[in-house]
Amino acid sequence: MKKIIAANWKMFKTSEETIQTLTELNTLTENIPLDNKEILIFPPFTSLEVAAKIVNNPYIFIGAQDLYPAKEGAFTGEISPTMILACGAKWVLTGHSERRHIIKEDNALVGQKTIFALASGLNVVACIGETLEQREEGNLYDVLAEQLQQTLAKLPTPLSPERLVIAYEPVWAIGTGKTASTEDIIEAHTIIRELLKNILGVSAMQTRILYGGSVKPENAHEILSLDNVDGLLVGGASLKADSFAKIISA
């Protein structure tokens, strides 16, 4: 299974800044052996097309940060999978905690988006994770189970396992500088693997589970070497090409 190193740029970078960062990344990754990795970059919608054109490394792929689950229609402000694919992007994020908590997306909508994206030909990184309050109340298992079950209900079949990736991002570790401890990560990823076995059967063993939350060049290698960690989803430390290149080579 190839490890995934993914960059979520959130609401950062104009298309000009995208060109600058990805031009640097092209150069910095020239000599990094990447045949065992997949690198995903999730820029804002306005940079998707230019990002897909500028990247010249066959191991780097572009994705969108969100989608609307319809082919087209009167949905002001929304973007469809067809439009994302037409930009040259192959991946999409669903259920990121900032969309769940700031934009108030619920599990049912995250599920609809995940299924529609997969059925439309996009590969998906579906994000799940608990708040500090949910963790402290002892609800880690229930929260992850609920999010996964609703996200993965009614998956299109057959679905090859490399097209669906789960990202575990504890909300309290996102953008806070507080990385989850190795024990926290192992515990959550083990729970997710077990839940995936119930939902997906045998393909659960080939479903990649990424960790996200204050990943930086200094901790990337250690986190990547943990059991059931099949990659990283990086926010702040992915915005500068040199910092992201260090994480890629971790």
Q: Which residues bind ligand 13P (CB under 6 A)?
A: 8, 96, 169, 174-175, 212-215, 233-237
Give me the catalytic one of 38, 49, 130, 169.
Answer: 169
Give the list of residues 6+ apart from residue 141 with CB closer than 8 angstroms, or none.
191
Is residue 216 within 8 Å of 185, Cβ to Cβ? no
Is residue 51 within 8 Å of 13, Cβ to Cβ? no
Residue number with CB closer to ligand 13P (200 or 237): 237
Closest approach, Cβ 93 to ligand 13P, in A, equals: 7
**Residue nearest ligand 13P, Cβ-based:** 235
Residue number with CB closer to ligand 13P (37 or 197): 37
To which H or E segment does residue 91 belong? strand 91-94
Closest approach, Cβ 218 to ligand 13P, in A, equals: 13
Residue number with CB closer to ligand 13P (207 or 214): 214
CA distance 100 to 121: 24
The single-letter code of the amino acid at 113 is K
Give me the catalytic one of 38, 96, 98, 130.
Answer: 96
Catalytic site includes residue 96: yes
Is residue 215 within 8 Å of 175, Cβ to Cβ? no
Catalytic site includes residue 16: no
The single-letter code of the amino acid at 73 is G
Residue number with CB closer to ligand 13P (44 or 213): 213
> b/e map of 28-42 (b: 16 or more CB within 10 Å)?
bbeeeebeebbbbbb
Closest approach, Cβ 182 to ligand 13P, in A, equals: 17
Closest approach, Cβ 158 to ligand 13P, in A, equals: 29
Alpha helix positions (H), the chain: 15-29, 48-54, 81-86, 97-101, 107-120, 132-136, 140-152, 182-200, 217-224, 241-248
Closest approach, Cβ 73 to ligand 13P, in A, equals: 28
Residue number with CB closer to ligand 13P (41 or 122): 41
Task: Cite the active site residues.
Answer: 96, 169
